C-alpha cells in the first residue's frame, strides 16, 4: 500500500513540476535600435526614402509581428514591402533591419503607427508622420564639390544643371546645403558663403541663398542640409540652370559642398513669378555697404510694377561683418555683433523694418562646434543659413511706380578699433518679386 502511495505522490510531483516549467519558459527578449523621424513631404503614390531600425533578439523563442497603419509600409531586410511582417525568432536573434517608408494616397498630413510585438513580450510602437504633396522632384546639383583656397582648389565652383520643372505648377522650392569634411578635416572658421544662379537673359548672377560655415565640423545633424526657400526664383529654376557656389574660406582644407533642390508641384499661390534685382553688395563679406562712414554706395532705386501684379514682395538677405568701434553699451562692436534696426523706405516713407539682432545661436542644430559658435551675432549664426527677409506689400501696387531706399540705422565709426579690420560692413542683396495668375513681365527697375 505504501508503495502505491509513493508512486502516486511521485506522479503528482512530476506532473506539477512539468506544468510549472511549461508555463514559465523564458520567451527571450528583443531590442530595437534607431529612430524614425518625420518623413516630411512625399509625392502622391511615390515611395519615400526608407528609414531603418535594427531588431536584435536575445534567446528569442517565438516570432515577432510587425504591423503598420496608414499610408506606410514595412519590409524586413531586402524583402518586399507590405502592411505587416512576421519575423522568425532565428532571424531576429541574428539581427534584422526593419525598413519603413511612406506612399501617400492623399494630400495633407499623414499619420500611422508601427507596432512590433510578440507573445509574452512588451510591444514597441512608433508614431509615423508625413505630408502628402501632389508631386515632389529632387534635383541634385553640386556633389561633394571641394571648395578651398590653395592646394589647387578654388573658393568658387560653377556648373550647369537640368531642372525638369513646370514653374506654373511649382508650389515651393527648397534648397538644401550639405557640408562635409575633406580627409584633412573641415576648415576651422565661420566663413561667409552663398549660392548664385545666372539669369539666362541678362547673364547676371543672383544670390539665391547665403549661409555661414560652422567652426570645424560638418552639418550632418541636418540629414538634408541647411534649408533655404528659393521659391521666389522659380521662373529661373527651370530647364538648364547655371549655378555658382562660393565659400570665402582661407585654407587648403576647405569644405565638400553638396546642393539639392526639393521641388513641390501642385497648386501654387500664383502661377507666375518674375524677379528683378535691386541691390547686390554681397560678392564676399567685406564687399558690403561700409557702415558708419561716408560712402558712395547707391541704396535707392525707382520701380514700376506690371499692371497685372497680384502680389508684390521684397526679398532681402543681409548680414553684418567687422569689429568696428565704438562698442555698444553691452560691449558689442559693429557690424557682426551690434544690434541695429534698418529701414526700407518707399517714396521716403518707412514701410518695413529689418531688425539685426540675435537669432538663437546657442540653439543651433549644428552643435557642438569647435569655436565661438554660441554667442548671438547680428542676424546670423555660424553653421546656419542667413535668414531671408520677405516683406509683402499691403497691396500689389499693380501699374504703379515708386522709389525704394534702404536706410541703415545711423551710427559713426570712430576708427579706434584694435581689431585687424577697423571697418564695419553690411553684405546685402535685395530683389523685387511680383506674382500673378496670368503671365507677368519683369518689374522695371531704374
Instruction: Give the per-residue pLDDT at 385.
Output: 98
How many angstroms separate the CA atoms of 243 and 32, rounded? 43
What pLDDT was estimated at residue 120?
87
Q: What CA–CA distances, in Å, run from 35 to 39, 99, 184, 272?
A: 12, 11, 31, 40
pLDDT at residue 374 in the model:
96
Task: Give the pLDDT confidence score for residue 420 in this predicted structure.
Answer: 82
- Per the CB < 8 A criterion, the answer to whether 156 and 245 are in contact is yes
Q: Specify the pLDDT at position 24.
A: 62
- Taking the whole predicted model, whether its pTM rises above 0.85 is answered as yes
C-alpha cell at 433: 518679386
Q: How many CB atoms lie within 10 A of CB 367?
A: 15
Burial label for 126, CB within 10 Å (0-12, 13-18, 19+), is buried
* Alpha carbons 410 and 343: distance in angstroms, whole number: 11
Q: Residue 393 corresponds to which cell in the numbers above? A: 506689400
d(CA 116, CA 67): 7
Which residue in this structure is represented by grid cell 496608414? 70
Strand segments, DSSP code E, in 291-396 are 300-304, 311-321, 323-324, 334-335, 340-346, 349-356, 388-392
Active site residues: 190, 248, 336
Could you tell me which of 209, 216, 220, 212 has the C-alpha nearest to residue 254? 216
Cα first-last separation, the chain? 121
User: What domains does the chain contain, in order, with CATH numbers?
Assistant: 29-133 (2.60.40.1510), 135-268 (2.60.120.230), 273-446 (2.60.120.230)
Q: Give the strand pairing for 51-58 and 311-321.
A: unpaired
Cell readout for 191 is: 566663413
Q: Which three cell numbers stand for residue 199?
A: 539669369
What is the C-alpha separation between 305 and 308, in angstroms, rounded? 8
Grid cell listed for 184: 584633412
Report CA-CA distances (Å) from 341 to 200, 318, 333. Answer: 35, 12, 15
pLDDT less than 70: residues of the chain: 1-24
Measured distance CA(249)–CA(255) in Å, rounded = 9
Q: Contacts by 350-355 with C-beta closer than 8 Å and gap 24+?
A: 350/407, 351/391, 351/393, 352/314, 352/391, 354/316, 354/318, 354/389, 355/379
C-alpha cell at 397: 501696387
Amino acid at each position: 500500500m505504501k508503495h502505491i502511495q509513493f508512486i502516486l505522490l511521485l506522479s503528482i510531483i512530476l506532473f506539477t513540476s512539468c506544468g510549472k516549467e511549461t508555463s514559465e519558459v523564458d520567451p527571450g527578449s528583443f531590442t530595437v535600435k534607431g529612430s524614425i523621424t518625420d518623413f516630411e513631404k512625399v509625392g502622391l503614390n511615390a515611395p519615400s526614402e526608407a528609414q531603418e531600425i535594427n531588431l536584435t533578439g536575445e534567446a528569442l523563442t517565438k516570432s515577432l509581428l510587425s504591423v503598420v497603419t496608414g499610408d506606410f509600409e514595412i519590409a524586413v531586410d531586402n524583402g518586399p514591402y507590405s502592411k505587416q511582417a512576421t519575423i522568425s525568432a532565428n532571424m531576429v536573434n541574428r539581427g534584422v533591419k526593419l525598413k519603413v517608408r511612406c506612399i501617400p494616397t492623399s494630400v495633407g498630413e499623414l499619420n500611422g503607427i508601427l507596432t512590433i510585438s510578440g507573445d509574452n513580450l512588451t510591444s514597441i510602437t512608433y508614431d509615423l508622420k508625413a505630408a502628402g504633396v501632389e508631386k515632389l522632384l529632387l534635383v541634385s546639383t553640386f556633389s561633394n564639390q571641394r571648395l578651398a583656397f590653395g592646394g589647387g582648389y578654388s573658393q568658387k565652383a560653377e556648373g550647369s544643371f537640368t531642372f525638369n520643372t513646370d514653374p506654373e505648377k511649382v508650389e515651393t522650392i527648397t534648397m538644401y546645403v550639405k557640408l562635409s569634411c575633406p580627409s584633412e578635416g573641415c576648415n576651422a572658421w565661420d566663413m561667409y558663403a552663398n549660392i548664385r544662379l545666372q539669369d539666362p537673359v541678362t547673364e547676371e548672377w543672383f544670390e539665391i541663398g547665403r549661409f555661414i560655415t560652422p567652426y570645424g565640423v560638418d552639418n550632418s545633424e541636418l540629414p538634408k542640409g541647411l534649408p533655404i526657400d528659393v521659391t521666389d526664383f522659380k521662373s529661373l529654376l527651370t530647364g538648364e540652370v547655371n549655378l555658382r557656389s562660393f565659400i570665402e574660406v582661407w585654407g587648403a582644407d576647405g569644405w565638400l559642398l553638396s546642393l539639392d533642390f526639393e521641388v513641390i508641384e501642385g497648386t501654387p499661390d500664383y502661377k507666375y513669378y518674375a524677379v528683378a534685382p535691386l541691390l547686390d553688395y554681397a560678392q564676399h563679406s567685406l564687399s558690403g555697404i561700409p557702415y558708419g562712414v561716408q560712402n558712395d554706395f547707391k541704396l535707392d532705386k525707382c520701380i514700376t510694377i506690371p499692371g497685372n501684379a497680384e502680389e508684390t514682395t521684397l526679398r532681402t538677405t543681409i548680414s553684418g561683418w567687422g569689429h568696428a568701434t565704438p562698442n555698444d553699451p553691452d560691449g558689442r562692436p559693429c557690424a557682426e555683433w551690434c544690434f541695429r534696426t534698418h529701414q526700407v523706405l518707399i517714396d521716403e516713407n518707412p514701410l518695413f523694418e529689418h531688425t539685426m539682432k540675435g537669432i538663437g545661436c546657442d540653439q543651433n542644430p549644428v552643435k557642438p562646434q569647435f569655436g565661438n559658435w554660441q554667442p548671438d551675432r547680428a542676424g546670423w549664426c555660424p553653421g546656419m543659413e542667413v535668414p531671408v527677409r520677405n516683406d509683402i506689400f499691403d497691396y500689389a501696387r499693380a501699374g504703379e511706380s515708386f522709389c525704394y531706399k534702404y536706410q541703415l540705422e545711423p551710427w559713426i565709426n570712430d576708427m579706434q578699433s584694435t581689431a585687424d579690420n577697423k571697418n564695419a560692413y553690411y553684405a546685402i542683396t535685395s530683389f523685387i518679386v511680383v506674382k500673378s495668375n496670368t503671365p507677368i513681365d519683369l518689374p522695371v527697375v531704374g
